[in-house]
Amino acid sequence: MNGTVYKSTGSWYTVKTEGGTFYECRIKGKFRTQEIKSTNPIAVGDEVIFELESIGDETVGVISEIKERNNYIIRKSVKLSKQTHIIAANLDQVFLLVTLNNPTTFTSFIDRFLVTAEAYDIPVVLLFNKMDVYDKEEMVEVNYLVKLYTDIGYHCIEIAAKEGKNVNKVKELMLNKTSMFAGHSGVGKSTLVNALEPGLRLKTAEISEQHLQGQHTTTFAEMYDLSFGARIVDTPGIKGFGIVDMDDDEIGDYFPEFFKLKSECKFNNCLHLDEPKCAVKEALENDEIAWSRYRSYVQMVTGEEENPYRERS
Ligand SMILES: Nc1nc2c(ncn2[C@@H]2O[C@H](COP(=O)(O)OP(=O)(O)OP(=O)(O)O)[C@@H](O)[C@H]2O)c(=O)[nH]1
Ligand SMILES: [Mg+2]
Ligand SMILES: [Zn+2]
């Protein structure tokens, strides 16, 4: 039978058949994984082939094969940098939720996320959430970030999931697609899913007052069919975002505003670091490229761990 993975807990996989039936499945003893080494051989969104087996009066599925992925979002856990984890596969687009504070989303994190998505050609929409709580000064900062990322070419929407503000705009973009919500713990991913489909009642939780961070309420990625004709993957909050297996000379290509200038650099293999007559550095000096973006780029090329910062307006 063919099916799509809707949830994975590590040992069990919930798979939905084309006919709409859900089966709990596991993996055959020795499962041939794809070329990527990851802590999870199968991820939400994977298309799999499985057979049913009866154990007592229970029927379970055994997954024998995974079909080739169109794309996937993979991350390297920052501390165990050899371990990688596939968050979800076969996505049409990703919504990255960003909050200015409670919790703070730094531009270094946004940029790493965007690079990973660019590498697999997955469109990203930036959702600036909790717009109901920002004061005047914070609004200036949000507007600055919205302009920064809009100018690069990313679609940005200011929302308030809790109040339903601009949730319709998100809904429109989701029609007939498989999307994923990503972002730090506490940015409001599950709240947004609930706003889109109130019947789901996903668990959400207040930010910890002590740490001003989320409490990792969602623990496994899970896909949901929404009644307006869309599929969404709600994911657990991610902390750091290590990029996986990228050559230095490739990273600049995933910064769209750098890529546009690349042909104007003197050297065609220019890494935009210390090379003479570099069009990217010239644009940076002329304020046509944001310093925060350049700093993110340098951190990635030099293999530095994510060093959080945010460009201030
Ligand atoms: N003021 C305000 N609070 C919000 C908004 N959206 C979400 N929240 C609150 O933020 C807190 C965290 O929301 P969740 O939906 O649990 O966050 P999450 O991103 O799913 O977090 P994890 O599952 O831990 O990754 C909750 O207390 C929500 O009520 C919003 O637009 N405005
Ligand atoms: Mg959640
Ligand atoms: Zn250059």
What pLDDT is recorded for position 41?
86
Q: Which of 159, 166, 204 to mutate to test the pocket of ligand 1 (most atoms within 8 A of CB)?
A: 204
Q: How far apart are CA 60 and CA 54, in angstroms?
A: 6
Of 162, 203, 224, best ligand 1 pocket probe by most atoms within 8 Å of the beta carbon: 162
Report the distance separating Cα 282 and Cα 265, nearest Å.
9
Q: How far apart are CA 142 and CA 120, in angstroms?
A: 27
Question: How many whole angstroms from 242 Cα to the centroid of ligand 3?
Answer: 24
* pTM of the complete model: 0.94
What pLDDT is stored for residue 29 in this prediction? 66
- 278: tokens are 């570099």
| pLDDT surpassing 80 at residue 214 | yes
How many angstroms is it from 275 CA to the middle of ligand 3?
7
**Please, which pLDDT band fits residue 245 given cuts at 50, 70 and 90?**
confident
Max CA separation in the chain (angstroms): 72
Predicted pLDDT at 159 = 98
Q: Is the pLDDT of residue 92 over 70?
A: yes
* Distance from Cα 63 to the centre of ligand 2, integer Å: 28
Ligand 1 contacts (CB < 6 A) are 129-130, 132-133, 160-162, 183, 185-191, 204-207, 214-218, 236-237
Candidates 302, 296, 305; CA nearest to 107 is 296
pLDDT digits (tens, 9 = 90+) for 265-291: 999 999 999 999 999 999 999 999 999
- Position 79 scores a pLDDT of 60
Q: Closest Cα to residue 125, out of 106, 144, 105, 146?
A: 146
pLDDT at 77 over 90: no
Average pLDDT estimate for 19-41: 78
